[in-house]
Amino acid sequence: MALFTVTLSLAVAFAAPPLTPAEAVYGELKLSTPVDPKPLPKEFHPDGVSLEEVRKNPKRYPVRAAVLEAIEVLEQSRGTIPLRTEIRRVDLGKPQVMKEIFKQQEGPAIAIAMLDDVQKSLLSLEAVRHREPSRRWQAHFDFVLAEVEFHLALNHEYNDMLAHARSENLPELQPARGEVGWRLVPTETMKSRGPIRKIASSARERFERLAIAEPDTPWGIQAARFQNAPPGRQWLPMTDLVDP
């Protein structure tokens, strides 16, 4: 008994503290939790229905089930596009480099297919979103739909820019200025076709509405950050002087 008591005491002593309501929201959205998240208003607190119950009863909780499915896809899509994409002039056109660019397009292509499916699923439920009694899950729905559209448009744009590189449709370099290649950088103006630009515009509008409606909540705070994220990408010359 003594050994059991000591073991139990140690387990209790080193148990992780319970999540605050705000931390739980970030956890459900699979987003990094800020160091000191703002308190969550009570109207957004959980209603006692567990995530496991939602997954077991998707017909009873259609909005919540669709949100959980979308979050799983977002987890994979958030890391699809690398932070840096560069091509040096001396490498352009080489078969191995062209193969690498083609291979790099696989991730965005898969992400686009998955994001397109969940976007359609969420849009099919948008008309009945108001029937979801939990404000927490209504906010989840609004944020997740906006993020799905954002990543859908961004992956299309990134994939298109890689296609430009494969076809060597890149800005002309000026060696006299030390330009040795190209870097893909964020920009407000998208190069993708009209329907993709409309998806990006829809995402930004959704983020804007959420940021205004729920400014001090996890959803509003994250929405404000996404709202200012440039949806476009463009190839710009780079130099060894700036980019060794």
Give 127's pLDDT tier (boundaries 50, 70, 90): very high
- Inside any domain, residue 8: no
- Inside any domain, residue 41: no
Q: Give the pLDDT of residue 118.
A: 98
pLDDT, tens digit, 9 for 90 and up, residues 63-110: 999 999 999 999 999 989 998 999 999 999 899 999 999 999 999 999
Q: Give the pLDDT of residue 241.
A: 55
pLDDT, tens digit, 9 for 90 and up, residues 4-36: 444 444 545 555 667 899 999 999 999 999 988
Q: Give the pLDDT of residue 168.
A: 92
On whether the CB atoms of residues 121 and 165 are closer than 8 A, the answer is no
Please indicate whether residue 17 or residue 219 has the higher confidence score (pLDDT).
Answer: 219
Count of domains observed in the chain = 1
16-45 burial code (b ≥16 CB/10 A, e <16): eeeeebbbbbbebbebebeeebeebeeebe
Whole-angstrom CA distances from 8 to 15, 16, 162 are 10, 14, 56
Which residues does 173 contact at the CB level (< 8 Å), separation at least 6? 89, 179, 180, 181, 182, 237
Check residue 183 and report its DSSP letter.
E
Taking the C-alpha atoms of residue 206 and residue 209, their distance in angstroms, rounded to an integer, is 5
- Inside any domain, residue 233: yes
Report field, pTM of the whole predicted structure over 0.75:
yes
Q: Give the pLDDT of residue 124.
A: 97
Mean pLDDT across 127-148 = 97
- Inside any domain, residue 30: no
- Inside any domain, residue 45: no
1 pLDDT more than 70: no
pLDDT, tens digit, 9 for 90 and up, residues 159-195: 999 999 999 999 999 999 999 999 999 999 999 999 9
- Inside any domain, residue 198: yes
Q: Give the pLDDT of residue 48.
A: 92
Q: Give the pLDDT of residue 5.
A: 45
- Inside any domain, residue 123: yes
Q: Give the pLDDT of residue 203.
A: 98
Full domain range(s) for residue 125: 59-239
Average pLDDT over the chain reads 91
Residue 244's SS3 state is coil
- Inside any domain, residue 29: no
